[in-house]
Chain A
Amino acid sequence: MSSRLSTPNPQLNELGKIKHFLTLEGLKQHHLLEILDTAESFINPKTNEIKKVPILRGKTIMNLFFEPSTRTRTTFEIAEKRLSADVASLDIATSATKKGESLLDTLWNLQAMQAHMFVIRHAESGAAHFFAQHVAPHVHVLNAGDGQHAHPTQAMLDMFTIRKHKGDIFDLKVAIVGDVLHSRVVRSQIQALSILEAREIRVIGPKTLMPTHPEAMGVHYYDNIEEGLADVDVIIMVRLQSERMKSALIPSEKEFFKLFGLTKQRLALAKPDAIVMHPGPINRGVEIDSEVADGPQSVILQQVTYGIAVRMAVMSIIMSNAAQLAQHESEQASLALDVDNEEEAP
């Protein structure tokens, strides 16, 4: 029976394919490559244009943002519309939950409106997992950022951007600079880079903005940005998440820039063709100098464009996997029927 094939990873279906997209943890290299390759198919290689395609026509996707977001929410909406899905975006923080409705009641009501997929952003780590545990079997959950836990589509669009500029990731040295402690993006980036077997992953920043044992994540830790940037292919700057800092972890933003801000001089320490990335929103003069953010090595705005294609890829793969699973199950059912008939034959 299908239980023989089932895996403990709640993100995967009985065939080992992605059913919910909650975190990169536990996914295999082939899952990630499938997302990157599919994203590639949505982009015209010459013009970078992303055309609308009809594959999710008749499917309803709801964006549930319990936490404010402009970029992520907008790129999700555009991605959904480019796949021809019907889209509803709900700013939950200001509606139902204020009236005292529980999270699950909200979820079940929205499910009753025949949603096929929920895209969820929530300030609590684990919120997307919670939703995935409670949705109906035909409904899919996609994590658009939960607390300090994960932001898997952001990490995948970063991998896509790196691959577009630098080719295969296993050859590359990647430095992630800034607030590693509070960043769900960094956690997902490190998982993605590890799964794709990047040659070296470095994290750079003050000890106060690092987990207690950064090495446990399979990275090299540098508290000196000049040493950390030496000879890297990719620099990922991370926003200082002042809103998540409960105490004074850095003396001041000015001081942070002096010690860890990415300037033209520091960028020169990396490989000459290194690219500079940032998941946004950028704090100019806090973690990155305008001269670098707007400079020729910056690919920050391309990340945003590629985010559309990568989110289209994740959503179409999830729906494709669901279709293939349904087909598989109906084949199994008809096989079982044949076996029954044979047994009944004289």
Chain B
Amino acid sequence: MTELDIDVNELLDNISAQLRDKAVLDKSPKMIGIRTGGEWVAQALHQRLGLSDALGVIDISFYRDDFSKIGLNPTVKPSDIPWEVVDQHIILVDDVLYTGRTIRAALNEIFDFGRPASVTLVTLLDRQGCRELPIQADVTGMTIKCSQTLKVSGPEPLTVSILDHSEEPA
């Protein structure tokens, strides 16, 4: 197994550049991070892009689809979106896009707050090939293989290392 440290700043620069090319930045978007890793990434992006409205944070624990299997997440905290969601252009931020189930839960939760004008999905990393739902990121810092697992820690410093299992014998 090989462990590779990723330059997070480079990924964040990459994402900011891609977002600046998107029309959404002209529409005074508001940002929501998904607790916990997504919140860290969102904090860093929020600062880089200089967004004026406060960052929203959602905890999707109550919206997971596996409650009947694993029960409640004991560390669940209240979601906090400090502005009206209705008719807003929202940038939804998570650390890693994997099966797509977290994003499904997050979208459901956002819609329980109101009907946004649009949602743009940003993820720091995209583990491609394991999607279980038809969900893709609009902007991603880096694409990796599904066989590569990740360790994300934060909030300060925000670090990511990739653990590659693909060379291991099955």
- Which of A41-49, A151-159, A169-177, A233-241 is near enough to bind chain B? A41-49
A51 at the interface (CB under 8 A from B): yes
Q: How far is the CB of A33 from chain B (nearest CB, A)?
A: 11
The complex places the Cα of A38 from the Cα of B61 at a distance, in Å, of 11
Partner of A41 from the list B59, B68, B71 (CB cut-off 8 Å) is: B59
Inter-chain contacts of A220 with B (CB < 8 A): none
Interface centre among A40, A317, A320, A322 (most CB of B within 10 A): A320
Inter-chain contacts of B76 with A (CB < 8 A): 38, 41
Q: Are A51 and B112 in contact (CB under 8 A)?
A: yes
Partner of B72 from the list A38, A44, A46, A327 (CB cut-off 8 Å) is: A38
Query: Contacts A53-B63, A54-B63, A55-B62 given: A41-B70 contact, CB under 8 Å?
Result: no
Query: Contacts A51-B112, A52-B112 given: A44-B80 contact, CB under 8 Å?
Result: yes
Q: Is the interface of A mostly helix, strand, loop or mixed?
A: helix
The complex places the Cα of A321 from the Cα of B68 at a distance, in Å, of 10
A208 at the interface (CB under 8 A from B): no
Inter-chain contacts of B71 with A (CB < 8 A): 319-324, 327
Q: How far is the CB of A330 from chain B (nearest CB, A)?
A: 9
Count residues of A near B (Cβ-Cβ below 8 Å). 24
The complex places the Cα of A323 from the Cα of B59 at a distance, in Å, of 20
B157 at the interface (CB under 8 A from A): no
The complex places the Cα of A54 from the Cα of B69 at a distance, in Å, of 15
A329 at the interface (CB under 8 A from B): no
Q: Are B108 and A55 in contact (CB under 8 A)?
A: no
Partner of A54 from the list B70, B78, B108 (CB cut-off 8 Å) is: B108
Q: Which residue of A lies closest to B71 (CB)?
A: A320
Inter-chain contacts of B69 with A (CB < 8 A): 323, 327
A292-323 vs B, Cβ < 8 Å mask (1 yes, 0 no): 00000000000000000000000011011111
Q: Chain B: residues with CB nearer than 8 A to chain A? A: 59, 61-63, 67-72, 74, 76-80, 82, 108, 112
What would 17 A/B residue contacts be, using CB atoms closer than 8 Å?
Answer: A37-B74, A40-B78, A41-B76, A43-B78, A44-B78, A52-B112, A55-B62, A55-B72, A317-B72, A319-B71, A320-B67, A322-B71, A323-B69, A323-B70, A323-B71, A327-B70, A327-B71
Known interface pairs A37-B74, A51-B79, A319-B67; 18 further A-B residue pairs with C-beta atoms within 8 A, sorted by A's residue number: A34-B74, A38-B76, A41-B59, A41-B61, A41-B77, A44-B79, A44-B80, A45-B80, A53-B63, A54-B62, A55-B62, A322-B71, A323-B71, A324-B70, A324-B71, A327-B69, A327-B70, A327-B71
Q: Chain A: residues with CB nearer than 8 A to chain B? A: 34, 37-38, 40-46, 51-55, 316-317, 319-324, 327
